[in-house]
Chain A
Amino acid sequence: MAWFRKSGKKTPGASEEDLWTVCPSCKAHIYKQEWEAELKVCPKCNYHARISCTERRDLLIDAGTWREYAGHVTTSDPLVFSDAKGPYKEKAAAAKAKTGLKESVLTGDGKLGGIPVSMAIMDFRFLGGSLASGTGEKITLTAEHAARHRWPFIIFSASGGARMHEGIISLMQMAKTCAAIARLNELKVPYISVLTDPTTGGVSASFAMMGDINIAEPRALIGFAGRRVIEETIKQKLPDDFQTAEYLLEHGFIDHIVSRKDMKEYLHRVLQYGKRR
């Protein structure tokens, strides 16, 4: 697959580990080539592994049409925050070095099957996809950009929630991004939310739940409060499928579960109904 670049360190004389991927969910050994051909979806258990924002973009956007937007926005350290593991500044720098990104979301526009769209794609590798100043700003700017052009807006969420290291300002990004979504609604600009593994906390409780339609990848973890916190509060065991995409579908909070390989086609079909007429 062209969209996927090998990230593994190649050593001469491929060892066993280079040939096989272990499914994080069912622990099955999958031949690496097959794993990649399946877009990092386990052929044994249908687990949809987390992928990077650029991998996801390349799966969805027509080749050569992507233009990054608001790409200049990057983290600052408003609280000069430091915890047991050191300063936030260092953590953010490490995340940037590791991912090559400047924030936890990639934003821009391009064509999806020929239809111009604006898109925000979160990346869990960047500090757990956490929602902070830069994330909120990029999503808001891109929503406003979409509004100006009347382009449908699509957000792929992947986030553990608000970024604690920026304190209250991170919490405020929930209101900021939702206000931007409200403006899209006013202008009748389509907004589609795709929830991927995981979408929890402040992201689930803001823009991720507010799509005209909400869709999810199979078995994605989606919920507001953490499982352990809930178990400690209510002192009872939670069902196995609790806070999965399937659980949310059953409870009426998402419209459909869409496999990774079908995602582009599905979005394209939906967008036909949201065309300006």
Chain B
Amino acid sequence: MALDFEKPLEEIENRISELKKLNEKADVSFDTEISALERKLRSTSKRVYSKLSPWETVQIARHAERPLLRDYIAGLCTEFLELHGDRCFGDDQGIIGGFATLRQHRVMVIGHQKGRSVEEKIEANFGMASPDGYRKAMRLMHLAAKYKLPIVSFIDTPGAYPGLEAEARGQAEAIARNLTEMSLLPVPVIVVVTGEGGSGGAIGIGVGNVVLMLSNAVYSVISPEGCASILWRDGSKAPEAAAALKITADSLAEQGIIDEIIPEPEGGAHRDPNAAIESTGDAIVKHLRRLKKMSAKRLIDHRYDKFSKIGRFKSRK
């Protein structure tokens, strides 16, 4: 499935496969044409992917084949004991979590799950969690604190679910409580933005000692579409809004919001999911090793300082 800006690449790829088919049947050889096209493909893809617009990056971050939380768990964890329920109301599927052994480290994994199949997507509300999801996540984080387990939180959501039931059960309260209580967790908290970091729904599990981000992930105060419809009064101006909001990994690193960018394979994580998942694992383990050496008090202070520093304002008497 090619995105709009990937069409030139798809054309070259199609021509290569046509020639390869002809090569098998015909007497003449197309080998030179094929290798020329392959060179062209490499240079074109370098050109296309090296200067993606923020809006094109959003398309990659939302790509249907992009690795999801369960792919990361399968790729990085030798064991995953999923734990269910918020002990209040239900077991939201928009956020999942449980004990996990991640490259030999026992940790608590939590994160948004968008779902792969249509059934999964509907069950998970496309990764838009309900208050029950945020409360389940907090319950698991308190459990991690009790067992002195580091927490690894994977963010990939369009936003918290905007629904009648979600409001009635306190979407605002659930997110607010997580922000407050996460700031006091006495264990390392590593946050990885793997796809879409959608607003309050993202930061609701995003208060980490370190915040990592895949190179084609985005993290934003509001969706580009939402911003465009409010500030441009025209949802189709989403590309402009995406640029103005500065939501790409590079921009967030410049703004001091994230600590490290995890490189993705050329074209995006979906082009080589295993490579993206392994790089993510490397980055997580690197920070785990460092943070595990810090005392509980130091971890809490470190997290407080990290967030209390964020802000760009002027001073005027």
Are B237 and A73 interface neighbours, CB within 8 A? no
Q: Which of A40-48, A116-124, A204-212 contacts B (4 or more CB under 8 A)?
A: A204-212
Are B313 and A137 interface neighbours, CB within 8 A? yes
B64 on the A face (CB < 8 A): no
Q: Which of B43-51, B200-208, B279-287 contacts A (4 or more CB under 8 A)?
A: B200-208
A166 to B231, CA, bound (A): 13
B172 on the A face (CB < 8 A): yes
A171-B167 contact, Cβ under 8 Å, with A78-B255, A84-B231, A186-B184 = no
B220 (CB) vs chain A CBs: closest residue:
A168
Q: Which of A6-14, A175-183, A263-271 contacts B (4 or more CB under 8 A)?
A: A175-183
Task: List A contacts of B204 (CB < 8 A).
Answer: 205
Are B206 and A175 interface neighbours, CB within 8 A? yes
Nearest-neighbour CB distance to chain A for B254, whole angstroms, equals: 10
Nearest-neighbour CB distance to chain A for B249, whole angstroms, equals: 11
Q: Which of B68-76, B103-111, B138-146, B173-181 contacts A (4 or more CB under 8 A)?
A: B173-181
Q: Which of B11-19, B21-29, B116-124, B239-247 contacts A (4 or more CB under 8 A)?
A: B239-247
- Interfacial residues of chain B within 219-246, with CB under 8 A of chain A in the complex: 219-222, 226-227, 230-234, 237, 240-241, 244-246
Are B222 and A210 interface neighbours, CB within 8 A? no
B308 on the A face (CB < 8 A): yes
Task: List A contacts of B227 (CB < 8 A).
Answer: 164
Are B170 and A74 interface neighbours, CB within 8 A? no
Are A236 and B308 interface neighbours, CB within 8 A? no
A164-B221 contact, Cβ under 8 Å, with A169-B257, A176-B310 = yes
Identify which of A134, A181, A205, A223 contacts B175 (C-beta below 8 A).
Answer: A205
A242-B313 contact, Cβ under 8 Å, with A84-B233, A140-B308, A223-B172 = no
A225-B171 contact, Cβ under 8 Å, with A74-B313, A168-B255, A234-B163 = yes
Q: Indicate with 1 or 0, residue by residue over B148-163, a CB within 8 angstroms of chain A CB atoms.
A: 0000000000001111
Task: List B contacts of A79 (CB < 8 A).
Answer: 244-246
Task: List A contacts of B315 (CB < 8 A).
Answer: 72-74
Nearest-neighbour CB distance to chain B for A126, whole angstroms, equals: 14
A166 to B314, CA, bound (A): 13
A77 (CB) vs chain B CBs: closest residue:
B312
Among B175, B180, B202, B231: residue with most chain A CB under 10 A: B180
B-side interface size class = 35 or more
Are A182 and B244 interface neighbours, CB within 8 A? no
A133-B317 contact, Cβ under 8 Å, with A83-B244, A230-B167 = no
A164-B162 contact, Cβ under 8 Å, with A176-B311, A183-B304 = no
Task: List B contacts of A65 (CB < 8 A).
Answer: none
Task: List A contacts of B203 (CB < 8 A).
Answer: 171-172, 174-175
A52 on the B face (CB < 8 A): no
A210-B177 contact, Cβ under 8 Å, with A164-B221, A164-B222 = yes
A83-B231 contact, Cβ under 8 Å, with A72-B316, A134-B311, A169-B311 = yes
Number of A interface residues at 8 Å Cβ cutoff, please give it: 66
B166 on the A face (CB < 8 A): yes
Are B184 and A182 interface neighbours, CB within 8 A? yes
A229 to B198, CA, bound (A): 15
Are A174 and B313 interface neighbours, CB within 8 A? no
A207-B176 contact, Cβ under 8 Å, with A136-B311, A176-B311 = yes
Identify which of B160, B307, B311 contacts A224 (C-beta below 8 A).
Answer: B160
Are A253 and B163 interface neighbours, CB within 8 A? no
Nearest-neighbour CB distance to chain A for B132, whole angstroms, equals: 14
Are A164 and B180 interface neighbours, CB within 8 A? no
A226 to B164, CA, bound (A): 11
B136 on the A face (CB < 8 A): no
Task: List A contacts of B317 (CB < 8 A).
Answer: 72
Task: List A contacts of B175 (CB < 8 A).
Answer: 174, 205-206, 224
A167 to B54, CA, bound (A): 14
Q: Indicate with 1 or 0, residue by residue over A219-234, a CB within 8 angstroms of chain B CB atoms.
A: 0001111100110011
- 29 example contacts (A-B, Cβ-Cβ < 8 A) are as follows A76-B314, A81-B245, A102-B316, A134-B314, A162-B199, A162-B200, A163-B221, A167-B220, A167-B221, A171-B199, A171-B203, A171-B220, A172-B311, A174-B175, A174-B200, A178-B176, A179-B207, A179-B307, A180-B308, A202-B221, A209-B177, A224-B162, A224-B172, A225-B166, A230-B162, A233-B163, A251-B168, A252-B170, A253-B170
- 6 shortest A-B CB distances, which residue pairs? A225-B162, A178-B179, A179-B183, A78-B312, A83-B231, A133-B311
Residues of B within 8 A of A (CB): 160-164, 166-173, 175-177, 179-184, 199-200, 202-204, 206-207, 219-222, 226-227, 230-234, 237, 240-241, 244-247, 252, 255, 257, 303-304, 307-308, 310-317
Q: Apart from A172-B307, A210-B176, A238-B164, what 5 extra A-B contacts exist at CB < 8 Å? A: A76-B312, A79-B245, A103-B313, A172-B310, A179-B308
